[in-house]
Amino acid sequence: MRHFRWLGALTLTALLLCDARAAMAGAARAMAQWAMTVAPALLPFAALMPLLTCGAAARAYERLLGRPLRAVLDLPGAAAVAMVAGMVAGAPAGALAARDVAARAGMTRGQLKRLAAAATGFSPAFLVGGVGEGLMGSPALGWKLVQAQLLTQLSMALLLRWTVAPDAEPVAPITGAPSGDGGSPVRAAVLSVATICGWMALFQSAAAVIAAHAGPEVAGALLCLLDAPSGARVIASLSPALEAAKPVLLAAVCGFGGACVAAQSLDALRGCGIRAGFYVRARLLAAAINAGWMALLIRLAPGGGALLRRVSARPFEAAALAAALLVLPALARMRKSIS
């Protein structure tokens, strides 16, 4: 893994030096998008996270959710706060909370892997404000994305219980971790959201250099894989002929999360035995499930049928089918991904 990181950093450095002008333009676009959609949606909720995950809140979540977590998901009641953090603040807060809970609650590495894979997502504030309102002009669509993500996280937690091979090794205690009790919650929130800006600028710079030499279509596909907020912008700008497919495609991109979110979450889980291959396969599975739930929610929505009648349903159905096919290879490899 150390060699992989070094080679990845070396490759990114070469890309950035190969076309500095394109790299700077990509970073500028990323920072503008972060300032217009990501930061306003995430910052208020990030500032509230210390209150939402404090000791009293964690005990309340455990009393409320502890029994179903133990009975249905084979997770300790203390894992409830990590599930809530992942659902409210998204990544990497869910992974950080899962790591902290695992060390304190004596969880096994297998339980941590399942919890971290299920607790990854985006903040509802970003899905509603950044994607629904900011990109699509529809807060209602943003709320559909929130509903689909919630159903996906619960589905992932249940599915991974039966598909992930057990790993009974206990999670090692956290050493040298900052307390989190000191300092201002607002300062911590600003640093957390600013870190997201740095990751977005890095990945969009690389995508911009590749796009300058490979074309905008390749760049759009890369952005969907590298950075979900940028990929969502690409999907929102697609032709009106694909209007019916956009909600499903957005759900798939947000379900996967992109390499940018993966890098942040894997960094938070460093030393826990979670391999990048397992994480990527879990996110591919989440992308397929999220797209499937989104397709079902739109079908069941009062205005969903009218939307599909106004615009050809073929793109919608094709997007739903393509996302569903991702489930097969992800499930086939999931059990083999943990040693």
Domain-located, residue 42: yes
Per 3-state DSSP, the chain is made up of helix, strand and coil in percentages (nearest 5) of: 80, 0, 20
Domain-located, residue 2: no
Walk along the chain (339 residues) and give the pLDDT tens digit of each residue.
455 566 666 766 776 777 788 888 888 888 887 888 777 767 776 777 677 667 777 788 888 887 888 888 878 787 888 888 877 777 777 777 787 777 777 777 778 888 888 888 888 888 888 888 888 888 888 899 999 998 998 888 888 877 766 666 766 665 544 444 445 556 767 777 788 888 788 877 877 787 777 767 777 787 788 888 888 888 888 877 777 788 899 999 999 988 888 887 887 777 777 788 888 888 888 898 999 999 888 887 765 545 444 444 444 444 445 444 444 444 445 544 444
Domain-located, residue 67: yes
Output b/e per residue, 185-224; b: 16+ Cβ within 10 A. eeebbeebbeebbebbbbbbbbbbbbbbeeeeeebbebbb
Range of the domain at 315: 17-166+183-337
Supply the pLDDT for residue 168: 62
Domain-located, residue 101: yes
Distance CA 205, CA 127 (A): 24
Domain-located, residue 303: yes
Domain-located, residue 8: no
SS3 9: helix
Do the beta carbons of residue 171 and residue 107 sit within 8 Å?
yes
What is the total count of domains within the chain? Answer: 1
